[in-house]
Structure 1
Amino acid sequence: MEGWNFWWGIAAFFLGGLATQLNGWLAYRRQRKDRADDAQDALRQRREEFELQHLVEVNQLLRDLMAGLVLMATAARLEHQFPGAFDDEELTQRFQEGMDAVNATEAALTAQAGFILDDGIRAHVKGGLVAYDEASVEATEPETVNAALSAVGTAMRPAYEAIAARVRELYAGRAGA
């Protein structure tokens, strides 16, 4: 009987060591999973910040582009309705400044559109740009200005709505996180 106590002591010693090793291994796996989850969460947050920043910027650029187009159309309409009422040089200079600003906005928007992560939103923004390009000349002609502005507004509305929906979705995800 005393022999069994000796062997039970040895077996308990080895089983205790094995249990300690198993516990350490399980703790290591749990920590590794926690670190992986933290890294994945940090990556998701960086992606959302990037996406949010670019969506807000693209939205503002779309609005600036539309506002510039309306200003150009208004200047052209005023010149057509009241010829000679404005200083030609000043009106030409203001029209050119507006055109330069709109061209710079269009270039910035074209560059930023490539950074939009959502394919659907990117397609809507590019559709708005195409509509702007098609209507930009017509918007300065008195006969077609209303139809041109309406066409651009109609083409840009889905882009505005898609951007707004995605921004809401990003913020709703943050509230739930």
Structure 2
Amino acid sequence: MFGKQTKTEGQVAEAEQPQDVAPKKKSKKPLLIGLVLALLLGGGGFYVTWAGLLFGSSTEHAEGSAEPNPLPDISFVPIEPVIVSIGPGAEGRHLRFTAQLEVAGSHSAEVTTLLPRIVDVMNGYLRAIEPAEFDDSAALVRMRAQLLRRIQIVTGDGRVRDLLVTEFVLN
């Protein structure tokens, strides 16, 4: 009457396993433990090094930081503004140039005495510059170096350390 259906072993095994079972998720616990340990060890290492417990505290560094280094003995000698016409046919084009000289403190009076000669050297050089040279992006650097060298020749070695350009305006 009723036909017997026989199932093979493979069909029985498939029937016993549910189809909707999701695979087990990996635990995040080891990852969190590793992250916490890394943060603790990093923070502890920083503290030990910062506190001087690892290599010993450096007393010379702590004492030296209380008192700042003294400033070098320098002074600044202002140069009067120089206004120079640019080029032979440049109607209305002018250069306004203002600078200060960085000098050793002991030579400040000597350099101040030589200011008329310094301004004369600057005027001569600035008037000789071609108008096309001002278009170059490195023109100011070149002019500054040339002027400094000429000023050092006029004042003598060791008196003028640097030329600080405070105004450079082309009209």
TM value normalised by structure 2: 0.23
Higher strand share: 2
TM value normalised by structure 1: 0.23
- Higher RCO (Cα < 8 Å, 6 or more apart): 1
